[in-house]
Amino acid sequence: MRFYTHQHKFYCGIDLHARTMYLCILDQEGKILLHRDIKTDSDIFLKSIAPYREDVVVAVECIFTWYWLADLCAAENIPFVLGHALYMKAIHGGKAKNDKIDAYKIAALLRGGMMPMAYVYPVEMRSTRDLLRRRNHLARKRAELLAHVQNTNHQYNLPAIIKNLGKKGNRDGVARRFADECVQKSIELDLGLIDHYDQLLHRIEHEISLIAKKYDADSYFRLRSIPGIGRILGLTILYEIHDIRRFPSVQDFVSYCRLVKCAKESAGKIMGSSGKKIGNAHLKWAFSEAAVLFLRRNPEAVAYRNKLARKHGAAKSLTILAHKLARAVYKILKQKEVFQPEIFFAK
């Protein structure tokens, strides 16, 4: 965890909401210079902090509304700190909690050098990353519809649907398997939505590919050299990482990907693990998917996974494989090389 330790004359903590923001500005001695609730308006904000623009730093907790404020501070050359929400226990704890108290706590953490920092993703790539996340959301909705068709088939104990319903040509006549007219209508609704999602996903994937390849085509095609990492997984990994240099070591990177189990220890005694939700959930998903796809038509990978399964069990073997793929991605991006199977499978 990184903390913001730079010294300034003034420290501005903001409890940010969609329509309002509570400002608290402290000086170096901890004296409250401003405590005010204002609208989320750029001009009002700049006017409020104008007397302290000489040397002020602004901090907010990482919630969904931080984009505009980070961009405004960047444009105005105001230092901006994004607080890591899960590490900011001083904000979430306490006997009383309101906007005024939260703004003060953020400013106090900032002044004391104890503000845990989250990564401020650059504005020029942020919208493409968010579009990729939206695409993955739509893909999960499509998968839920496919699962509902299969579950309904099991519900009425009908013969198994052997063909892959993910392909449009295999969905003809599926609704007629059911005798009840209302069930047929329900399945037709699912299939109609799946067709619609197919069109949306096909178009958005094509558009994302054209935009994303302009960013770092070399790194993108290096990632594609790993078996199982295709167009969408490659772009997801590339855009969620942004810059591999922000991770000092491979351990920092795999921890950010949620691929390590952190021990909870005190006085030499281990009391389980913690921090499962700290990290990037999208990278966790991407490497979990990559581990499964890595095994397809890859006998060497299957043999390696079987070896892991004999030692650690089937479920844990996939987790280990995902962890190893993340380490391989770190090396590929750091050293600017392609995937090397002889090194990956070496003892």
What are the tens digits of pLDDT across the range 265-280? 877 788 777 778 889 9
Q: Are strands 56-61 and 80-83 parallel, antiparallel or unpaired?
A: parallel
Contact by Cβ (8 Å): 49, 8: no
User: Is the domain covering 3-116 a CATH 1.20.1370.20 domain?
Assistant: no
Question: Taking residues 16-28, what's their average pLDDT?
Answer: 96
> What's residue 264's pLDDT?
79
pLDDT at 214 over 80: no
Structure tokens at 13: 């903590």
Contacts of 276 (CB under 8 A, 6+ apart): 258, 261
Please name every residue paired with 333 in a beta bridge, in sequence order, or none if there are none: none
Length of the chain: 347
pLDDT tens digit sequence for 144-170:
999 999 999 999 999 999 899 999 999
Q: What does the pLDDT look like over 167-212, one tens digit per residue?
A: 999 999 999 999 999 999 999 999 999 999 999 999 999 988 888 7
| Annotated domain spans of the chain | 3-116, 125-212, 221-344
DSSP letters along 9-41, please? SEEEEEEE-SSEEEEEEEETT--EEEEEEEES-
What per-residue confidence (pLDDT) applies to 272? Answer: 75
- With a pLDDT cut of 70, the percent of the chain lying above it is 99
Distance CA 224, CA 273 (A): 34
Pick the closest to residue 291 from 227, 337, 198 (CA basis): 227
pLDDT in tens, 315-339: 899 999 999 999 999 999 999 999 9
Give the DSSP H or E segment for 4: strand 3-4
CB-count exposure of residue 342 (10 Å: 0-12, 13-18, 19+):
exposed
Q: What is the distance between the alpha carbons of residues 94 and 116, in angstroms, rounded to a whole number?
A: 18
- Separation between Cα atoms, residue 119 and residue 84, nearest integer Å: 8
Non-local CB neighbours of 59 within 8 Å, separated by 6+ positions = 4, 11, 12, 13, 14, 80, 81, 82, 83, 106, 107, 109, 110, 115
- Which pLDDT tens digit goes with each residue over 59-77? 999 999 999 999 999 999 9
Q: What pLDDT does residue 1 have?
A: 79
Calculate the CA dihedral of residues 34, 35, 37, 39 and round it to 10 degrees. Answer: 20
Taking the C-alpha atoms of residue 323 and residue 157, their distance in angstroms, rounded to an integer, is 39
- pLDDT at position 94 is 79
Tokens of 88: 């900011």
Taking alpha carbons only, the member of 301, 307, 308 closest to residue 339 is 301
Question: What is d(CA 228, CA 244) in angstroms, rounded to the nearest whole number?
Answer: 21
Confidence bin at 11 (pLDDT 50/70/90):
very high
The DSSP symbol for 249 reads: S
Q: State residue 226 phi and psi, 5-degree precision.
A: -80, 125
Among the listed residues 112, 51, 54, the one whose alpha carbon sits nearest the alpha carbon of residue 81? 112
User: 24 pLDDT exceeds 80?
Assistant: yes
Mean of the pLDDT values across residues 13-17?
97
Poorest-pLDDT segment among 73-77, 89-93, 215-219 = 89-93
Choice among 66-70, 135-139, 261-265, 280-284 with the minimum mean pLDDT: 261-265
Mean of per-residue pLDDT scores for the chain: 93
Structure confidence at residue 347 as a pLDDT band (50, 70, 90):
low
Mean pLDDT of 121-138: 94
The answer to whether residues 243 and 320 touch, using CB atoms and an 8 Å cutoff, is no
Q: Kindly state the average pLDDT of the residues 221-237.
A: 94
Q: Is the pLDDT of residue 309 over 80?
A: yes
